[in-house]
Amino acid sequence: MAVRRASLIGNDRNAGDLFMTAPPDAPPGGWAIEIEELRKTFVLQHRQAGTLKRAVLNYFRRYPRETREVLRGVTLRIPHGETIALIGRNGSGKSTLLSLIARVYKPTSGRVVVNGSVAPLLELGAGFHPDLTGIENIELYGAILGLTRKTLQERFDSIVSFAFDRPDLLEKIDTPLRNYSEGMKMRLGFSVAIHTDPEILIVDEVLAVGDEAFQHKCYRKIEEFQREGRTIVFVSHDMHVVRQVATRVVWLHNGSIRMDGSVEEVVNAYVNAADSEAEEQQRA
Amino acid sequence: MLNELKELWRFRGLLWQLVRRDLKVRYKNSRLGFLWSIAPPLMQVACITFAFRYATDFAAKFNNYSAFVLVAMIPWTYFQTAILDSSQSILLMYGVIKKVYLPREIIPLSNAISNFIHFLLSWLVFFVFLWGYLRAPILPTVIWFPYLVLVQFMLVTGLSLLVSALNVFYEDVKYIVSILLGLFLFLLPIMYIVEQVIYTSNLGRWAGGWGAYIYMLNPLTALINGFRKALLEPPHPDVIKGGEYLPLDPNSLLLSGVLSFCILVFGYWYFNKRKWQFVERP
């Protein structure tokens, strides 16, 4: 795939303009995810969380609200069947971009169009309740991820056997989740999420969980997803994993795309930049 | 708003799951389970009866004062616990809404519904007490009962939506709410009956009789009064000086129904206006 230089260093704010002038034609299957001129700004409050007192004082004093632009005009089009890795240093906006695709945030401006069902694996087991049993938590987490009761019942056995493939794990299925180890909770969360049968998988650092054996299983499942033509967008700092799994890499820097292209090219550029940055810091 | 309702319908399975979770988790590690829902109002009623029977001669004028208080305490307990629970509901699910998309109104709604189920179960206990133990007659006005229950559900749900949204941005709200709820135990006709306010007090005569109307304008006052009159026989005439025991007033109940519906619509509108800012609160 050709390298698409989406932004010029030092000219980040106009990054999207390069695309706007020549929007690429849609692939035969259509875009899985279309992101156009996406901006996201958060309000910063340094001193304390929102209280009525502060709100009243701020109203009268008219403090200027400090904001931080986390995404500064990101334009990205992802066709069905691609596996995109988002890389970049901490605070570059990767997770915010994922959250916007998962509809957790609303864009400040620009737009995100997602064509297909989404499974957000931003945090495995978000919504698990420690007092409920494994079975009850499968039902709850399945519903949170948008599974209907009927579909959940159909896939229930498959979810359980995927997560708990050993008899010693399986016997805990009807005990409260607080008796589970962290690894077992992750297995359960991953298994439910993967069984929502999504067309688009959004993953934040949790591509593979659990012990060695289960991680292998996770990667096999990811490969199966890729073969079936599903779209995966994931964030990772592990360049080994990125090289192994991704078909295209997007490098985010300070809220805009610095580079977008083939795996080797972008990863190498990123690693070189990180190395030289580390060297500079060492010298200073 | 129609689109929001459609989205809510699409996620009805989740709403049901969250209600089930609330019902299961609430008393999961206790031996007595649902009894903890009905025990606090019963104990409160016992103490109020004690105070008014032995410290004053007030309670003696009622056929059964405990039933008079309990019929008001059940809607009051539902109102109080549901609103208090809702103030914390979004923050308790904050970890989830920061990571997964779901219609946010499901959270206060599931909270209001699970409390509503406890409310219905409490009535069941009350009916056993009233018709089984006291052998009180079933009045024809009991047909108002389903209407009253529905109106109270609208009122509680509307306020839950409002309070839950406000508390995300101003955590003072939960303190304000809990103080107000403590005061309303005395302002509402729970330990006394509305006729005492209307005929005996200065409030009732205030502003050429408009004081009484203003007092009855509170939908919860009208509802508690309605429940009492729909289910219980009038007390001894001596209780009310300078007036008569008023029969169930359909106009007042219809007005409180309209008000509760308006509160529900307003609460839903306000919630939808703010719900996307929840995850971005500074």
Tell how strand A66-79 and strand A200-204 pair up: unpaired
The 10s digit of each residue's pLDDT in B180-204 is: 999 998 889 988 888 888 777 777 6
Q: Which two tokens stand for residue A58?
A: 């701020």
What residues of B are in the A interface, CB distance below 8 Å?
A: 11, 13-14, 16-18, 21, 24-25, 28-29, 93, 95-102, 169-173, 276, 279-282
**Using CB atoms, which residue from B14, B101, B171 is nearest to A104?**
B101
Q: Where are the alpha helices (DSSP H) in chain A?
A: 15-21, 52-61, 94-101, 134-144, 149-163, 167-170, 182-194, 212-227, 239-245, 263-283
Cut 0.80: pTM above it: yes
Percent of all residues in chain B with a pLDDT value above 90, rounded to a whole number: 41
Tell me how close the Cα of A145 comes to any Cα of chain B, in angstroms: 7
The string of pLDDT tens digits covering residues B204-213 is 666 667 777 8
Interchain CB distance below 8 Å, A129 and B21? yes
For residue B231, what are its two tokens? 């289910």
Which residue from A43, A127, A140 is facing B282, i.e. has the nearest CB? A43
Q: How far is B6 from chain A (nearest CA, A)?
A: 14
- State the nearest Cα–Cα gap between A272 and chain B, in angstroms: 32
Q: Which residue type is seen at B70?
A: L
Beta-bridged to residue A83, according to DSSP, are: A232
Contact B130, B228 (CB under 8 A): no
Which residue among B16, B28, B279 sits closest to A104, beta carbon to beta carbon? Answer: B279
- Quickly tell me which residue has 């389903």 as its tokens: B146
Number of domains in chain B: 1
- Long-range Cβ pairs for the range B12-16 (8 Å, 24+): B13/A143, B13/A147, B13/A148, B13/A149, B14/A143, B14/A144, B14/A146, B14/B102, B14/B106, B15/B106, B15/B109, B15/B110, B15/B113, B16/A143, B16/A149
Residue of chain A nearest B101, judged by CA positions: A104
Say whether B170 and A49 touch across the interface (CB within 8 A).
Answer: no
In chain A, residues with a C-beta closer than 8 Å to the C-beta of B169 are 50, 55
pLDDT digits (tens, 9 = 90+) for A77-90: 999 999 999 999 99
pLDDT tens digits for B103-149?
999 999 999 999 999 999 999 989 998 898 888 888 999 999 999 99
Contact B41, B73 (CB under 8 A): yes
| pLDDT, tens digit, 9 for 90 and up, residues B155-170 | 999 999 999 999 998 8
Out of A39-43, A239-243, B50-54, B80-84, pick the least confident.
B50-54
Q: Is pLDDT above 80 for A5?
A: no
Element (H, E) at A43: strand A31-44
The terminus-to-terminus CA distance of chain A in angstroms comes to: 38
Q: What is the mean pLDDT of chain A?
A: 83
- What letter represents residue B187's amino acid? L
What is the percent of chain A where pLDDT is above 90?
38
Asked if A204 and A189 count as a contact pair (C-beta separation under 8 A), the reply is: no
- Complex ipTM, two decimals? 0.77
Reference A246, options A224, A226, A228; nearest CA is A226
Containing structural domain, residue B195? 2-280
Decide if B70 contacts B126 (C-beta within 8 A): yes
d(CA A212, CA B252): 69
